[in-house]
Amino acid sequence: MPDASSQLKKTPVSLVALDGYDDDARVAQALAAALEPFGGMGGIVHSGDRVLLKANLLAPAKPDEAVTSHPAIVRAVIRAVKAAGASRVMVGDSPGVGTTRETMRASGILRVVEEEGAEMASFERVAVFENLENTLGKRLELTEHLLQTDVLITLPKLKTHVQMGYTGALKNQYGLVVGTRKAQYHFRFQNRDRLADLMIDINRTAKVKLAILDAVVAMEGPGPHGGRPRKIGALVVGTDLPAVDVVGCQLIGLDPQSYPLLQAAARAGYGTTDPECIEVIGKSIAELRVADFELIKAPANIMRILPLPGWMLRWLRRHIADRPHIDRSKCIRCMKCHNGCPVKPSAIDPRREGDCVNQRTCIRCYCCHEFCPVNAIELRRSWVERIFHLKTIGTAGSWLVGKIAGLYHRHK
């Protein structure tokens, strides 16, 4: 990954059109076209390499729900990687909900892995990785599969994200953190900026060689689990992950500068975050952009830049950020929200009378919203927001908060 300050020429990102997933040959063709500026897959994978494909296996869901990586993309990538001479191809993740096998089976990826002679990589055991360049996580516990990997390729799905606004190439590596450690990090880094810094540390440590962002059918609305599939018809491919996410954001009309992970990447000097420094090859963004893509407008966005003491941010978080609530008519009492909540004792319990969520201890990480298999968890507007209509004054508020934060950061 090149250092942003040392770039002499623009960072290439491929943007190709792909209408759907039904035709394997067309998916393979689109992938090959997208890889051309990088010397094809042979420019990334060399003979004998052990390759790990980091899929997005958030939760068991059918491919057309746009929750996980799509099996057709996984198939095309396995084939390309094998054709480039890989000696071993693993496909894995540490799902937020259920086991890797369950999630892979539901998404159709397990069948593809078996048919194509790849291996399922269930991230369960960890190894410690040191990186003194990192901002927060100089010693990170990540899946030990990285020790058996020569080339890591990430296969994110473009989705909205209730906490971060967007999820794509950079955020997909959070799945390298195994099981409950993810929830522990959510609890430890309640400030969104710090969590974003940590995610950049994870990316820097994992040394991803290539990102293939699936924006053929993305997710809009309250993603990354409870939103709606939305066709964009694009593959975004690159070796510089922040640059891939810049293009991903632009496709859905999200200002890349507002995305916490790109802000964190800029702070860390990791990759290319300035749209002016990116050369989009293939289609133009204007050709594929979806003008009315439904983005997240959570007022919790304010929290990341407010220059206030921790206790005040916690108070604001509790009183302004959206509150999780269980819709009892949908709840199947699987207890996944309860077991996955990083707060101990759990802040959510579907068996509790009245409000199932302890709004006092809940840290608004929205893991429960991600984990719920039947979308029974709603994010309701807080009383402060309802009274003052914070969302409707969001633009002016964001501008004002941005100015305050700018002054604050200049004087730090």
Interaction site with ligand SF4 (CB under 6 A): 324, 326, 331-337, 341, 343, 347-348, 350, 357, 362-368, 371-372, 374, 376-377
Least Cβ distance, residue 182 to ligand SF4 (angstroms): 11
Give bridge partners of residue 270 from the DSSP assignment. Answer: 3
Nearer to ligand SF4, 129 or 366 (CB): 366
Residues with Cβ within 8 Å of residue 109, at least 6 apart in sequence = 55, 57, 68, 69, 71, 74, 91, 103
Which residue, 289 or 314, has its beta carbon nearer to ligand SF4? 314
Amino acid, single-letter form, for residue 256: P
Work out how close the CB of 293 gets to ligand SF4 at its nearest, in angstroms, rounded to a whole number: 25
Outline where 84-191 has alpha helix (H).
100-107, 109-115, 180-188
The SS3 call for residue 83 is helix
Q: How far is the CB of 408 from ligand SF4 (least distance, A)?
A: 27
CB of 324 to ligand SF4, least distance (A): 5
Q: Would you say 83 or 363 has its CB closer to ligand SF4?
A: 363
DSSP strand E in 156-276: where? Answer: 157-161, 165-167, 208-220, 228-238
The nearer residue to ligand SF4, 71 or 340, going by C-beta atoms, is 340
Residue 208 or 379: the one with the smaller Cβ distance to ligand SF4 is 379
Q: Residue 358 Cβ, how far from ligand SF4 at the closest point, in Å? A: 7
Q: In whole angstroms, give the CA distance from residue 266 to residue 272.
A: 8
DSSP, residue by residue, 12-63: EEEEEE---SS-HHHHHHHHHHHHGGGTSGGGT--TT-EEEEEE---SS--G
Quick one: how far is CA 183 from the chain centroid?
15
- CA 161 centroid distance within chain: 8
- Least Å distance, CB 116 to ligand SF4, is 32
* Smallest separation (angstroms) from ligand SF4 to the CB of 328: 8
Q: Give 164 or 247: the residue with its C-beta nearer to ligand SF4.
A: 164
Give whichever of 187 and 388 is closer to ligand SF4, judged by the CB atom: 187
282/340 with CB nearer ligand SF4? 340
In whole angstroms, the minimum distance from the beta carbon of 365 to ligand SF4 comes to 4
C-alpha–C-alpha distance, residues 111 and 107, integer Å:
9
CB 232, CB 217: distance < 8 Å: yes
Containing H/E element for 337? helix 336-340
